[in-house]
Amino acid sequence: MMRPLIGVTVNDDIRNGMSGEFVGKDYTDGVYTAGGLPLVLPLTDDKETIVELAMHLDGLILTGGPDIDPQLFHEEPRLGLGEVTPLRDAMEAMLIVRMAALDKPILAICRGIQILNAVMGGTLYQDLLREWSGRLQHTQKAPRDHTAHHVTIVEGTRLHALMGAVEVPVNTFHHQAVSALAPGFIISGRSHDGLVEAIEHPGYHFMVGVQWHPENLWRKYEEHARLFTGVVDAARARA
């Protein structure tokens, strides 16, 4: 059986004075190990290119990266907002809309859950230190494959079925997060201080977002590998 084609979004990157695009190997290895064929997507806001990409892709992974421009959720920038990347925001917003219209699977990771929620009609905390009252550390000072806190998973959700547990340890590298939930979505996981850590939309074939970084955990923890297996299996079934 052919491997389903899974698009993986990228960051703008400048190294040794040269401009380029970058995505962590843990993402693409995770897709391939799960049975998919990863396609690192070009960074573009050309509408025709994005429409064509969405037609060819069987699934999409929205990766981590810089902050989301608050214009996407109709707010002005506040103190604590970090670097934003308008080109990437524009590309991912168009991709989300097109993939949703085609009901193709989306797995949204860290920044991914944030832009997914914003594009679909929700809002974000622009900076947790200024806008959130919780006490947990959400930007860990530890290696990326180290788990820092726990997430409680809502029973009966797609995420619960995938991970097979009601509580999972996660890593954490973010200062923005879901605030108001986009219409039609449900919360499928929270941290112990109540912050939204996972969302999903029951009306789509597979639309799941997580605030942590399973791409850095799947080699050590089977439950996190199941997120990659989940989007690949959903893409194969949808195709």
First CA to last CA distance, the chain? 12
Left, alpha or beta for 17 (phi > 0: left; psi -120 to 50: alpha)?
Answer: left
* Catalytic-labelled residue, pool 138, 160, 213, 224: 213
One-letter amino acid of 69: D
* Catalytic-labelled residue, pool 92, 110, 149, 174: 110
Distances (CA, A) of 1 to 226, 229, 233, 239: 20, 15, 12, 12
- What tokens appear for 51 in the block? 């429409």
* Catalytic-labelled residue, pool 92, 197, 200, 215: 215
Known catalytic residue at 138? no
171, 213 contact by CB (below 8 A): yes
One-letter amino acid of 205: H
Known catalytic residue at 213? yes
Q: Rounded to an integer, what distance in angstroms lies between the CA atom of residue 71 and that of residue 77?
A: 8
- What tokens appear for 185 in the block? 């979505």
Known catalytic residue at 215? yes
What residues contact residue 47 under an 8 Å CB cut-off, 6+ apart? 94
Catalytic residues: 110, 213, 215
